[in-house]
């Protein structure tokens, strides 16, 4: 490979002259932005233990009232990007959010897309665009770009959920902002009931719906049942996985990130293809081991880990008699739209 000149090889007066006119020579920096063979991601394989972070999250509830925090969240930051940048990967933000009984996190809307994967607790709900979405363990709730949303808690125990946003990308594009709003009026109806049967769409007078996000809550009981039925119907299938999609058109539920649920049969080990998007793995039920290249993470329920793009990922169910269920988020839709999606052996 051709060896390029270094910046320090240039005379100091020449470098100074470039700087005064806001100019930068490309050739000393070319390999940094166009490395040979494959990208050199900043994202590092990282594991966040829920057992370890939960006491800190509950302590935040005692230290900071919701009125002073608005959203009481501990960010799951990837050290490869610098903790201050609050990134799990190049395009994904993760946070564990706490809502205590009687609290209300006020309505707002923002440009980044968000989803909520409910970790534990009962009695809370999110109102999105006027639709009240109950929050139960394993549920996926969408709060897409531009839609008003708020969280409230009528129960008796803390409720915790995992936030997944495309905030790093939207912030990088200088398009990130939010607006505050009043408490929403709740309208009747719920998308998960209108779209409760696979292959069947509500079509009054032969017309499809026009809402960009017709289904906002994806109940875990339905996703889990779909995985179990798929596993039973196709016993030879290696990857028992479903994708959360828009029920009207089958597209990804949001524009930037993709979301999936995967079941590992008892004792199963599954090697994933090496793909260009970074991915996040969050254990809903069971016990599992996630190997990312040379690193191995043992996941207990509600643990989360991430893998850079093009890494070799192997998932293993640690139980010989019980299935394991994993929620996956990745940057796949973004890579597809940009024509960057790639899979390697």
In angstroms, rounded to a whole number, what is the distance separating the alpha carbons of residues 242 and 261? 5
CA distances from 87 to 7, 25, 111 (A): 30, 29, 17
* Tens digit of each residue's pLDDT (9 = 90 or more) over 78-103: 999 999 999 999 999 999 999 999 99
By the 8 A CB rule, do 226 and 219 touch?
A: no
**Predicted pLDDT of residue 187:** 87
CA atoms within 13 A on the CB side of 288: 32
pLDDT at 258 over 70: yes
* Token code pair at residue 68: 């002073």
* pLDDT (0 to 100) of residue 317: 98
Instruction: Show me where the domains of the chain are located.
Output: 46-344
Q: Residue 264: its pLDDT value, please?
A: 98
Q: Report the range of poorest mean pLDDT among 116-130, 197-211, 214-228, 233-247.
A: 197-211
Q: What pLDDT is stored for residue 1 in this prediction?
A: 65
d(Cα 311, Cα 291) in Å, to the nearest integer? 10
Model confidence pLDDT, tens digit, residues 97-144: 999 999 999 999 999 999 999 999 999 999 999 999 999 999 999 999
> Which pLDDT score is estimated for 118?
98
Does position 17 have pLDDT exceeding 80, yes or no?
yes
* Partners of residue 150 on adjacent β-strands: 127
Backbone phi and psi for residue 93, each to the nearest 5 degrees, phi listed first: -115, 140
* The pLDDT of residue 78: 98
Is pLDDT above 80 for 297? yes
Q: What is the pLDDT of residues 146-166, one digit of tens each?
A: 999 999 999 999 999 999 999
Averaged pLDDT score across all residues of the chain: 95
pLDDT at 251 over 90: yes
CATH topology of domain 46-344: Jelly Rolls (2.60.120)
Q: Where are the beta strands (DSSP E) in 2-121?
A: 46-48, 73-75, 93-99, 104-110, 114-120
Residue among 245, 218, 202 at smallest CA distance from 131: 218
Alpha carbons 106 and 151: distance in angstroms, whole number:
7
pLDDT score for 198? 83
Mean pLDDT within 201-225: 88
What is the share, in percent, of the chain residues with pLDDT greater than 90?
Answer: 90
What predicted TM-score, i.e. pTM, was given to this entire model?
0.95
Overall average pLDDT of the 279-306 stretch: 98
């Amino acid at each position: 490979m051709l060896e390029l000149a270094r910046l320090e090889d240039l005379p100091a007066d020449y470098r100074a002259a470039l700087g005064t006119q806001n100019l930068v020579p490309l050739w000393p920096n070319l390999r940094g932005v166009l490395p040979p063979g494959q990208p050199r991601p900043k994202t590092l394989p990282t594991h966040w233990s829920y057992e370890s972070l939960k006491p800190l999250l509950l302590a935040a509830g005692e230290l900071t009232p919701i009125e002073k925090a608005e959203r009481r969240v501990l960010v799951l930051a990837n050290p490869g990007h610098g903790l201050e940048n609050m990134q799990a990967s190049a395009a994904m933000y993760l946070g564990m959010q706490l809502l205590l009984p009687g609290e209300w996190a006020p309505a707002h809307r923002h440009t980044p897309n968000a989803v909520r994967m409910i970790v534990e607790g009962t009695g809370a709900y999110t109102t999105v665009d006027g639709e009240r979405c109950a929050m139960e363990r394993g549920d996926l709730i969408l709060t897409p770009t531009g839609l008003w949303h708020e969280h409230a808690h009528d129960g008796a125990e803390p409720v915790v959920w995992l936030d997944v946003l495309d905030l790093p990308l939207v912030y990088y594009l200088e398009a990130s902002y939010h607006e505050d709003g009043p408490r929403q009026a709740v309208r009747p109806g719920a998308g998960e009931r209108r779209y409760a049967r696979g292959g069947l769409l509500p079509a009054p007078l032969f017309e499809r719906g026009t809402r960009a996000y017709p289904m906002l809550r994806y109940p875990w009981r339905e996703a889990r049942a779909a995985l179990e039925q798929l596993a039973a119907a196709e016993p030879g299938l290696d990857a028992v996985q479903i994708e959360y999609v828009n029920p009207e058109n089958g597209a990804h539920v949001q524009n930037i990130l993709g979301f999936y649920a995967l079941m590992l049969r008892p004792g199963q080990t599954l090697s994933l293809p090496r793909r260009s998007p970074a991915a996040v793995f969050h254990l809903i039920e069971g016990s599992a081991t996630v190997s990312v290249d040379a690193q191995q993470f043992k996941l207990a329920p509600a643990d989360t880990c991430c893998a850079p793009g093009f890494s070799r990922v192997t998932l293993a169910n640690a139980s010989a008699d019980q299935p394991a269920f994993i929620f996956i988020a990745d940057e796949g839709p973004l890579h597809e739209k940009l024509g960057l999606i790639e899979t390697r052996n």
